[in-house]
Amino acid sequence: MFGRKRKRQQEEAAVEAAREAERRALFAQLASRPDTVCPFLGLAEDRVGYVDGVSPEHRCYAFGDPAPLSGDQQTRVCLDRGYGNCPRYLRGVLVIPTDELEALRRPAPATSSTPPPPPVTHERRRPVAAWLIGLLLLLVVGGVGGVALISGGLPFLATASPSPSASVVATIEPTATVTTSPSETPAPPTPTLTPEPTPAPNAEFIGYEVAVSAGDYTLFELDDAGNEVDARDATFAALSKAQVERIVAPNGVLHWRTIGGEYDGLSYVRGRSGGFIVREVHRAPDGSLGYERLPDAET
């Protein structure tokens, strides 16, 4: 009985391992896409396939059954860097395990055909300490007045007094030490976005988004009063966007708290987090999105 139970457990573990390998292979393929193609975009018969342009075969796999997509939705959202603002995308990433979500956000490493530089070789110096000491002792015993030696680029001066008890003094000229002060890492610059559609006259305001450029940032956890509870470093490899909510704390601190994703609940604070911009997001009746950037003085 125990043998059958163990065999069944091994079979279940093998099936689960195969599913995990298949899932990781899927997300590895999605992570290699250009940053202008939504990872949830696929074809009706191929989850990881897509066409470079609008296609009636495109489907959204963010959650639930694959959903058809309008041509305007594909052009303005699915095949554009702004897909990070799509409500379906934001809902889809909430149910993805953390390691797989990181695979989607991590850009593929750049490859280079330039061969690596040849290793630097250094000429070996012959050991000089042993024979120098022997020579100095010989000078002491022989009572030689003085001999100056230069070997291996280091000057030595050996002197002996004329008295029977001769002594030798070896002088090594000091080597200058150069001390450099560490340079501070500059804060990442404010991101520059490509022109995107402005809100249509009948568009509905649906929220805010924050955009950052590649670099290191600091995000903060603030309590309800606006006091800092914790701080966390965040590094972005490329231009990144996230949905945020505008919060003015009772102590007067204005901060932008992220909604969803790895940094959910952490806030951007002007002057402390690094260069970022905030935009209003509007949605027209046809589903197209429009954006309006807020002045830095208001964020």
pLDDT at 83: 87
Confirm whether 124 is domain-assigned: no
Confirm whether 122 is domain-assigned: no
| 92 and 7 within one domain | yes
| 42 and 8 within one domain | yes
pLDDT at 131: 53
- pLDDT category of residue 281 using cuts at 50, 70 and 90: very high
How many domains, the chain? 3
pLDDT at 243 over 60: yes
| 270 and 220 within one domain | yes
DSSP letters spanning the chain: -HHHHHHHHHHHHHHHHHHHHHHHHHHHHHHTS-TTS-TTEEETTBTT---SS--TTEEE-SSSSPEE--HHHIIIIITSGGGGG-HHHHHHHTTS-HHHHHHHHSPPPP---SPPPPPP--PPPPP-HHHHHHHHHHHHHHT--EEEEEETTEEEEEE--SSSS-------PPPP----PPPPPPPPPPP-PPP-PPPPTT-EEEEEEEEE-SEEEEEEEE-TTS-EEEEEEEEESS-EEEEEEEEE-TTS-EEEEE-SSTTTT-EE-TTTS-SEEEEEEEE-TTS-EEEEEPPGGG-
User: Worst-scoring range by mean pLDDT, 51-55, 122-126, 271-275, 277-281?
Assistant: 122-126
| 163 and 252 within one domain | no
Confirm whether 195 is domain-assigned: no
| 149 and 87 within one domain | no
| 80 and 37 within one domain | yes
pLDDT at 119: 57
pLDDT at 17: 87
| 6 and 84 within one domain | yes
| 92 and 162 within one domain | no
Q: Which domain holds residue 159?
A: 130-171
| 290 and 214 within one domain | yes
Confirm whether 178 is domain-assigned: no
- pLDDT category of residue 246 using cuts at 50, 70 and 90: very high
Confirm whether 279 is domain-assigned: yes
| 33 and 67 within one domain | yes
What is the percent of the chain where pLDDT is above 90? Answer: 39
| 101 and 159 within one domain | no
pLDDT in tens, 85-141: 888 888 887 776 545 555 555 444 444 445 556 655 544 444 545 555 555 555 544
* 105, 140, 159 - which closes a domain: 105
pLDDT in tens, 15-47: 888 888 887 887 788 888 888 899 999 999 999
Confirm whether 191 is domain-assigned: no
pLDDT in tens, 218-236: 999 999 999 999 999 999 9
pTM (two decimals): 0.40
Confirm whether 236 is domain-assigned: yes
| 134 and 101 within one domain | no
pLDDT at 11: 87
